[in-house]
Amino acid sequence: MVFSSFTFLLLFLPAVCLCTGLARSIRAKNGVLCLFSLVFYAWGEPVYVLLMLLSIGLNGLIGLGMGRYPARRKPLMMLSLALNLGALGYFKYADFLLDSLNGLLGLSLPLRHVALPIGISFYTFQILSYVIDVYRGRTEPQRDLLTLATYIAMFPQLVAGPIVRYETVREQLRERRVTAEDFAQGLRRCALGLGKKVLLANQMALAADAVFAPGQTPGALALWAGAVCYALQIYYDFSGYSDMAIGMGRMFGFTFEENFREPYLADSVTDFWRRWHISLSSWFREYVYIPLGGNRRGTARQIFNLMAVWLLTGLWHGAAWNFVLWGGYYGVLLVLEKHVLHRALERMPRALRRAGTLLLVLLGWILFRVETLDALGRVFAGLGSFGGSGAFFRAHGEALRALAVLPVAAAGCLPLGRRLKARWGSRPWFAWAGYAWALAVWGLSLAMLLGESYNPFIYFRF
């Protein structure tokens, strides 16, 4: 079940809001939310919901074991790492490893063709954050399995994030209340997130998919336009879902951390990753980069740590060599920024830094989007060519129509809403105007869903 579907918007979400509102005790509310979350997951993954429940049960027992037997915390943590990373590795990377061995060594190992459980990358990282924090003594083991299951399976952030650390919502799992204002503001955030996804991301996807479809030979202008459209597609697709998750979390009494902060206004690659998918960057920093030594053991070790983290980040996004290349690309850029170019960047005008960062990010999204190395070579060669693109756009009217939305999508990356709020936010009418705007976006999004069957979702494969 996807957020941008009539089943979710008109049936599932109203039902869960009604039932959680009728529940009196916090345990009953958690139970209702957990049950609906399991139904949400089982809607498309009826078998793999058992895998998630097994993971919750085993890691819940491991957490309790750490609390009861402190001297055995380390072997218990290693057991959790082996179970969770082993499951993630099997379901997500088994075929990638076998195919790579076949190609590199000339073997003919049969592929497993294992279906990827939806959201396994997200909920595995949430489980690991809980177990590691218990191991570190930063949080007490959760003795109520229902509460832990509610945290792991909570549907707003289950399949696309943000990655919510247990300590962020620990107290809200124990006690929370939802005011009318909380519910209204959460619903408004949810409506605007839906608009990002349906009105902008889906339109940008039409152009990006046409340009990067296998066998296409678009000219340089079309390739650059496709790269821009894909950058906007993935931003609105993912940030729209994050907005919906944050909004729904508030509707149920939870406060999730922001996951995006105007990333395309970043003035360095480091700054970009402080603004894009913030929860993932924070997770890797807290649970991988710092334990490896961070920047505390000299320059050579910091470079190694950065490259290790970013190669793992690339692999987390997908079991393919283009994702490894994408992660390595950002690792190299961050090493250069921190150890070679930092003084030159400090002297550079901010507008130039922003333009250069945006160009690097666009090139990075091409690595992310184009799946084979041969196709990547053709695309990068085409970017520097002088071939025309008029014939391509004439042959792909849907791409040309999507480009008409491009100025609106580009404007949406600017801090217009924040500036309007800073200027007019204290006026009594401003809040009502915001609700009216959200209602209009919600209605237009539903109308678009009614008339369109094209509704891709990039992050389902993670």
d(CA 431, CA 440): 14
Integer Cα distance of 77 and 135 in angstroms: 7
Spatial distance between the Cα atoms of 447 and 456, rounded to a whole number of angstroms: 17
Are 295 and 302 within 8 A, CB to CB? Answer: yes
Of 317, 339, 342, 396, which one is the catalytic site residue? 317
Catalytic site includes residue 113 = no
What is the crossing angle of helices 428-451 and 180-195, to 10°?
50
Please report the DSSP string for 321-358 in residue order.
Answer: HHHHHHHHHHHHHHHHHHHTSHHHHHHS-HHHHHHHHH
The region, left, alpha or beta by phi > 0 then psi within -120 to 50, assigned to residue 179 is: beta
Task: Give, in order, the Cα–Cα distances in Å from 349 to each of 270, 343, 407.
Answer: 17, 12, 25
- Start-to-end CA span in the chain (Å): 15
Per-position DSSP letters for 412-427, written without gaps between them: TTSSHHHHHHHHHTTS
Residue 41: closest CA among 74, 12, 62: 12
Positive or negative torsion for Cα 386, 391, 395, 399: positive
Quote the DSSP letter at residue 143.
-
Residue where the block lists tokens 């400090």:
346
Q: Which residues are catalytic?
A: 317
